[in-house]
Structure 1
Amino acid sequence: MREKNIEQKLVLMTKDLGGLALKLVSPGFDGMPDRLILLPERKIAFWTSVNRLDSQNRENYAI
């Protein structure tokens, strides 16, 4: 499955929960997650980055 399709599914699932999946750009910060997920009334917000399962992650994405 392509990364684009995974991100679209994430956005749709977040909207179904009444939340927002905002795409953000952080120039100069390699490895920074590019989605901010906000869910209503649950007071939950978190950063995420979506990659294909078979993709090779670069060193700056390692935890």
Structure 2
Amino acid sequence: MSEAEFERLLDAISVAITPIPQQDFVTDMMGCSRAPEAANDNGAEWPLIPFPDGWHAAC
């Protein structure tokens, strides 16, 4: 194999393994868009159900 053929082979390999540029998904996620609505959201608010006396909750 001559040096010219070897160089052509290296060029062909480098073209074949060069990564394809892709859209930057991190930049897309940082956009200021409205939060998606839940598929089962009917717009109704849940009523407030108080705890019985003596019960406590913590988050």
TM-score, structure 2 normalization: 0.30
Report which of the two has the higher share of strand.
Answer: 1
Q: Which has the larger radius of gyration?
A: 2
